[in-house]
Amino acid sequence: MRHILIIVGEEIHINEPFMDYILKRFKEHFTHTPLISYIGNSDKELPFKIENLAKNYDYLTIIANESNFYTISKILCTLSSDSLELKNDTLMPSRTELFIENSFVAQILEAKINLLKACPNKALPVFLLENTTRTENFMLNAVNKDDALSLLASLADSFNVNIFTSQILPELVLVRATNQKFGQIDEFLASVNERLKKHFIKGDNIAEFIVSSLKAKGLNLSFAESCTAGLVAAKLGSISGASEVFSGSLVTYSNHIKNVWLGV
């Protein structure tokens, strides 16, 4: 099903940590990274943009700051020929049946719209739309994008699964598998793993794969970093259980430190 995340208001747009938090919460709930549309404050085209998006998507998740939240509530009322009503301390269309504080679901045309009020220094309200589309990510190592599509196309058709690919590195491809109606995504993944076992990496986090692989083989890892300035260590250290396999890292940025610490 077609789903889009709409962010309304520069207060949210420009707050990178809060946007990272929103995307993390979205992915945890819906199991996929969203297509995103950004709309600024006081956009006079806002009613028309929401109406057009409702014509082109089955689900809209709209996240707005406080001032835009009530503006959009009024717009949803207008588009659905409804009136505003206070429910659970939140103004929303009177015919709304699914709601909690600062989050409700309205219907415009055939689209279901979940409007959430977001404040950058507070927890995001609960997403109320159901995850109707299951999505799983995996990676293929030592394979390019074209070969990945060729290898997976027939399997995807057999199990009613849509696949999308992206070249992460020259020999590393990210694959997103999304089930169609009556799709068998677990069977698809099992079949891919069986046929491409040497290339298959579960999930989309290469650091998790490295940690789990090192654990399985009883190996340890350490780094000497220069231009990455500790980034590799930070990525690996962010994985739960990394302490079992990660000994540490030296960040040797200047030539002097490289020479004294590493003899380079």
- The pLDDT score that the predictor gives to residue 179 is 82
Q: Which amino acid is at 188?
A: F
**Whether 197 and 247 share a structural domain:** no
- The pLDDT score that the predictor gives to residue 128 is 96
Is residue 146 assigned to a domain? yes
**Whether 188 and 231 share a structural domain:** no
**Whether 171 and 88 share a structural domain:** no
pLDDT tens digit string along 164-207?
899 988 889 999 898 877 789 999 999 999 999 899 998 888 88
pLDDT tops 70 at residue 230: yes
Residue finishing a domain among 117, 150, 184: 117
pLDDT tens digit string along 51-93?
999 999 999 999 999 889 999 999 999 999 999 999 988 889 9
Is residue 163 assigned to a domain? yes
- The pLDDT score that the predictor gives to residue 156 is 92
**Whether 69 and 108 share a structural domain:** yes
pTM: predicted TM-score of the whole model, two decimal places: 0.68
- The pLDDT score that the predictor gives to residue 103 is 96
**Whether 10 and 76 share a structural domain:** yes
Is residue 11 assigned to a domain? yes
What's the domain count of the chain?
3
Is residue 47 assigned to a domain? yes
Q: End-to-end alpha-carbon separation of the chain, Å?
A: 55
Residue 240 banded pLDDT, cuts 50, 70, 90: confident
CA torsion angle 70 76 82 85 (round to 10): -30
Is residue 127 assigned to a domain? no
116: which residues sit within 8 A by CB, 6+ positions away?
Answer: 61, 62, 63, 64, 69, 102, 103, 124, 125, 127
Euclidean distance between CA atoms 70 and 206, whole angstroms: 42
What would you measure as the largest C-alpha separation in the chain, in angstroms?
74
Is residue 123 assigned to a domain? no
Query: Which 3 state secondary structure label does DSSP give 53?
Result: helix
Structure tokens at 134: 């299951």
Euclidean distance between CA atoms 257 and 264, whole angstroms: 9
Is residue 181 assigned to a domain? yes
**Whether 15 and 64 share a structural domain:** yes
- The pLDDT score that the predictor gives to residue 81 is 93
- The pLDDT score that the predictor gives to residue 1 is 62
pLDDT tens digit string along 78-132?
999 999 999 988 889 999 999 999 999 999 989 999 999 999 989 999 999 987 6
**Whether 152 and 73 share a structural domain:** no
**Whether 112 and 79 share a structural domain:** yes
- The pLDDT score that the predictor gives to residue 189 is 93
User: What's the CATH number where 57 sits?
Assistant: 3.40.980.10
CB atoms within 10 A of CB 76: 24
- The pLDDT score that the predictor gives to residue 117 is 96
- The pLDDT score that the predictor gives to residue 188 is 93
Percent of the chain with pLDDT over 90: 56
**Whether 145 and 171 share a structural domain:** yes
- The pLDDT score that the predictor gives to residue 57 is 92
51: which residues sit within 8 A by CB, 6+ positions away?
Answer: 79, 108, 109
Residue finishing a domain among 166, 183, 204: 204
Q: What angle do CA 206, 209, 214 make, to 5 degrees?
A: 130
pLDDT tens digit string along 27-60?
889 887 888 999 998 788 999 999 999 999 999 9
Is residue 211 assigned to a domain? no
**Whether 168 and 232 share a structural domain:** no
**Whether 144 and 228 share a structural domain:** no
Per-residue HEC secondary structure of 20-35 comes to HHHHHHHHHHHCCCCE
Residue finishing a domain among 204, 231, 252: 204
**Whether 22 and 98 share a structural domain:** yes
Domain that includes residue 193, residue range? 140-204
